[in-house]
Structure 1
Amino acid sequence: MAIMARVICEFGLDHLTIMQAPGPNDMAIAPLVLESTLPGQFAREFDKNHFLRYCPILPKFNNSVLPQSWSLDGEGPSPNFDCPEKMYELMQRYGLLMGLIFPVTSIDASRYFLRYDGKRSPLHQAELNELGMISLHAFDVFDRMRRAETTAPNLLSARELEVLRWTAQGKTSIEIGQILSLSDHTINAYMTNAIKKLDCVNRTQLVAKAIRLKLIN
């Protein structure tokens, strides 16, 4: 996401979102979002008003796998983005005046969207082509990381998870050792193993990744 943030900046765009493609029964966008630079408040307001059901772009993907773009006119919803007035006002307020969605498919056949938002003029065809290729490569990397991380819960032993939970609560190795009746050297060994298994560099990154993977609360 850090690399892609620099990429979209080069295109004059402001936000990137990686999300699962909504299904017919989905009513909110927040549960579908995997990664995003959009403000969290935007998603909360979007879902509070049930705007997903009124999005004029999503139905177009029922008949096409091509990227879809849109832009907002200064006076109100544009012909290619015919949305409720309150939805238009919300997007205006957050500076989401234009955007595009690239549909992608993971190796397990699940559908995802890469969504870009900004306030520049619509992208030219050459820019669309270039961003499309970058999006495919970016999602390929993201999807490989996502699939690798789904196996992470099975990598850690019960004792490693227990040590990890106490570490997340701010306990030192000595304190955890006292709680579990183990030496601090043993605790450090468990931590080192967990760091290696989750491909982290230190305890801080380990705890952050464990929370993201929902291994701990």
Structure 2
Amino acid sequence: MRDPDKLALRSEAYADFLSGMTSSTVQTEYEVLHLMRQCTAQFGFSHFMIARIPFGEQQRFAERLALSSWPSELVRDYDTATVFHASALIERLRHTKLPVFGETASLLNVHGSNALDAIPALFAGPAMRNTFAVMLHTTHGEAFAVLLSGSRGEPDRGEIADLYLTLLQLFETLERTFEVGASARDKLSAREIECLRWAAAGKSSDEIAIILGISVYTVSSYFKTSTRKLDSVNRMQAIARAMRMKLI
């Protein structure tokens, strides 16, 4: 039997969390990232990951990744292992509409494979021992895997219902940022994107002018227009927003 007092406290905390994440003003990946961190902690997990479901062979994990709190070295190592597209997790998600729960190392590996043996023990350690995963779709039908990992045990039926609804709402919010990013990409010219990309790489306006074969004045002009189009107050904010929207 479930403890009624614990259930009431959990439901109250869940309601408070939902009330803080339903705002239509959330428009950037950074804001969704913050909400996902809150959701992950709210339900007793420590890490999350959202990635497009692979539809072919040998598709790089890093190219499918949409949002994540995984350490960068873990993303790099898992990408190098090239097992995501054939993992037990993806196979199971393709054959069920229900959430999946299990040992992270087993879910993210290929059955019978030792491909993850060379990866640091984070998957097997307490921080990411178990994983709860669901498959969600955009309004256009593109499938995504949404994972929460941690040391906690399997959620009960009530928690699964709360968690699924929360992830569904967060995913809908994330999808809005895809649309904002697409709109911004349509607005930005190829030259504006190039200037932002080189600036993000640490190049000065003088260096960018030489690389692109244009004048420093023209480079400054591109920065001014891109900053305005990205609704930013300066060049650094424009670069940060362009990176969060995956424009550069």
Q: What is the TM-score of this pair, normalised by structure 1?
A: 0.75
CA–CA distance in 1 between the matches of 2:216 and 2:79? 48
CA–CA distance in 1 between the matches of 2:172 and 2:135? 13
1:134 to 166, 171, 175: 166
Asked whether 1:23 is paired with 2:55, we answer: yes
Task: Spell out, residue by residue over 1:60-110, the C-alpha distance to the aligned partner (whole angstroms, 9 max, x if none).
Answer: 2232222111136xxx969xx966466475621473211111111112111
Letter in 1 for 2:178: R
Asked whether 1:180 is paired with 2:215, we answer: yes
Shift of 1:9: 0.8
Shift of 1:152: 1.9
Q: 3-state DSSP class of the match of 2:155?
A: coil
CA–CA distance in 2 between the matches of 1:157 and 1:21? 30
What 5-or-longer segments of structure 2 have no aligned partner? 1-32
Question: Contact conserved, 1:55 with 1:83, CA < 8 A, in 2?
Answer: no
Q: CA RMSD in A?
A: 3.6
- Runs ≥4 in structure 1, deviation > 6 angstroms? none
Q: What is the TM-score of this pair, normalised by structure 2?
A: 0.67
CA–CA distance in 1 between the matches of 2:198 and 2:59? 37
Question: Contact conserved, 2:126 with 2:150, CA < 8 A, in 1?
Answer: no
Q: 3-state DSSP class of the match of 1:95?
A: helix
What 5-or-longer segments of structure 1 have no aligned partner? none
Shift of 1:182: 4.2
Shift of 1:158: 6.2
RCO comparison, higher one (Cα < 8 Å, 6+): 2
* Percent of residue pairs bearing the same amino acid type: 23
Letter in 1 for 2:234: N
Q: Which residue of 1 aligns with 2:186?
A: 154
CA–CA distance in 1 between the matches of 2:148 and 2:141? 22
